[in-house]
Amino acid sequence: MATVSIAAYVYGMVQGVGFRFATQHQATGLGLTGYARNLEDGSVEVVACGEQEKVDQLLAWLKQGGPKHARVDRVLSEPTAPGHYSDFKIKY
């Protein structure tokens, strides 16, 4: 199966609520690689690589609001060149 990669930008109350950790847990459970990191504008960038169906599942989870203490207002995503990631990390 072909590997796809997306970059998603998650806006709302997504910093300081365990969002990156929960995203890492979700992505790892789906067998995805990539990373999640906070951006200076208060959003979180998520890069996910893996099977299309699994990437779509992570994107749907992000759009549904992520972890319970987060508030997701919007998610923008775009295809990106697949990176060479060995696992899913939290970037600082």
**68 CB-near residues (< 8 Å, 6+ apart):** none
**pLDDT value, residue 26:** 98
Residue ranges in the chain assigned as alpha helix (H)? 19-29, 52-63
**pLDDT value, residue 73:** 97
Closest to 82 in 3D by CA, of 5, 15, 29: 5
- Cα(16)–Cα(19) distance, rounded to whole angstroms? 7
Residue 20 appears among annotated catalytic residues: yes
- Cα(19)–Cα(13) distance, rounded to whole angstroms? 9
**pLDDT value, residue 50:** 97
Catalytic residue among 37, 38, 71, 74: 38
Higher pLDDT, 45 or 68: 45
Catalytic residue among 20, 37, 71, 74: 20
**pLDDT value, residue 92:** 87
- Decide: 19 and 67 in contact? Cβ < 8 Å: yes
Residue 38 appears among annotated catalytic residues: yes
